[in-house]
Amino acid sequence: MKHFLLLLLILLITACSAGEKPRAAEFVPPAASSANFGDLRVHYNALPTLSLNEAVAREYGVNKDAASAMLVIAIRRLENGEEVAAEGEVSAEAFDLQGARQHIEFSVVKTGEYTDHIGIFRIQARDSYRFEVMIKSNGRTEKVKFQRNF
């Protein structure tokens, strides 16, 4: 009876896997997000630098590294429902699950007629980070808060 149950268990487990070998998890990039403040729109995203293709990494001047991530902030002005370039200053901090804070320094990258603000920060695998981003544009200051898991 024991042998029969063991054989049945093995067959059931084999049937469930359909003969597939285990696969490594694939990175699924989070959807980019944005926030509107009147006529100001702020796009924001954070992603591991290893997820960047070579052309994007080169354009942004980013070194791909398993222990680093990139925070991208794009400031746009809404004009008749369309986004147009807007200038501004960006500062941000990232907080991990233990509450450790990292100040993120930004560099400005021109992409066509737009300007993006790129910041690199250190990450730990399987950690979650909360971001507080301050945007100064057209004489006003706005704040965006969001979270990403790596």
The domain segmentation of the chain, as residue ranges, is 31-149
Task: Read off the pTM.
Answer: 0.76
| Beta-strand relationship, 114-122 and 106-111 | antiparallel
Q: Topology of domain 31-149, per CATH?
A: Immunoglobulin-like (2.60.40)
pLDDT at 81: 85
Question: Which residues is 94 bridged to in the sheet?
Answer: 102, 131
Q: Cβ contacts of residue 7 below 8 Å, gap of 6+?
A: none
Dist CA 46 CA 106 (whole Å): 13
Q: Is the dihedral of CA 101, 105, 109, 113 positive or negative?
A: positive
pLDDT at 89: 96
pLDDT at 120: 97
Instruction: Judge whether 50 and 66 are in contact, CB under 8 Å.
Output: yes
How would you write the pLDDT of the chain (150 residues) with one tens digit per residue?
555 555 545 555 655 555 667 666 666 665 559 999 999 999 999 999 999 999 999 989 999 999 999 999 999 999 998 999 999 999 999 999 999 999 999 999 998 889 999 999 999 988 999 999 999 998 999 999 999 998
Q: Cβ contacts of residue 70 below 8 Å, gap of 6+?
A: 46, 47, 48, 49, 52, 60, 62, 118, 119, 120
pLDDT at 145: 95
